[in-house]
Amino acid sequence: MESKNLIVRETAFDDCAVFAEWENSEDVREFFTMEDDRDYQEIVTEFILYGPDPEKKLFTITLKPSGKPIGRIYLSRINRADDSLDLTRIYIADPENRNKGYGEEAIRMILEYAFINLHMERVTIDHFVKNEIARHLYHKIGFQDEGTMRHAGKKNGKYYDLCLMSMLRAEYYDKIHSK
């Protein structure tokens, strides 16, 4: 997938090393339910297990034209029976590439992929209750609030509430695709 500034491509094995580096950074881990002690081996195992799983897809966000990886996208719960999927994780890891609109650009590409290529009816995304930056961005893109999922995430032995949001195919076509 390609946009003005980014290429979002399927994750390659070589990306695991940079993911391990990023996911050991507190400012990346802060708003995700990943444990603080994730290491390279865990990320490689995830890559190997999720690769052939039809309900999961891993993507790497790269800058054009350099191809430098700057972030990650993880889709899960790809359900062909219900035509739905969950945008489980998205982040721009490198602080120098944040606040430039790359996260929004990547989400818009993933929504196009979900609604046009995969013919999904519904895409969900969630965020920690305290993550107001994510909430604002998801609203700006067109996601709608569905509610708070109590103790839906667990990190380092502690439970967290997550805000669930969604976008339907008709909303995508009304708000994004038609523009």
Q: What is the 3-state secondary structure (H, E, C) of 103-119?
A: HHHHHHHHHHHHHHHCC
Containing domain of residue 29, as a range?
Answer: 6-177
- Structure token digits, residue 35: 């444990």
Stretches where the chain sits below pLDDT 70 are 26, 28-37, 178-179
Asked, for residue 44, whether it belongs to a domain, the answer is: yes
Asked if 53 and 70 touch (Cβ cutoff 8 Å), the reply is no
Q: Is 92 within a domain?
A: yes
pLDDT for 79 equals 96
pTM above 0.95, yes or no: no
Q: Is 84 domain-assigned?
A: yes
Domain membership flag for residue 136 = yes
Straight-line distance from the first to the last Cα atom of the chain, in angstroms, rounded to the nearest whole number:
18
User: Within a domain: residue 75?
Assistant: yes
**Any domain includes 48:** yes
- Distance (Å, rounded) from C-alpha 26 to C-alpha 121? 34
Strands 122-128 and 158-168: antiparallel
Identify the helix (H) or strand (E) that includes residue 31.
none
Q: Output phi, psi for 141, to 5 deg.
A: -70, -30
Average pLDDT over the chain reads 90
Q: How many domains does the chain have?
A: 1
**CATH number where 88 lies:** 3.40.630.30
pLDDT score of 19:
86
Residue at 1 is within a domain? no
**Residue 15 forms part of a structural domain:** yes
Predicted confidence (pLDDT) per residue in 31-68, tens digit: 665 556 677 888 788 788 777 888 999 999 999 999 99
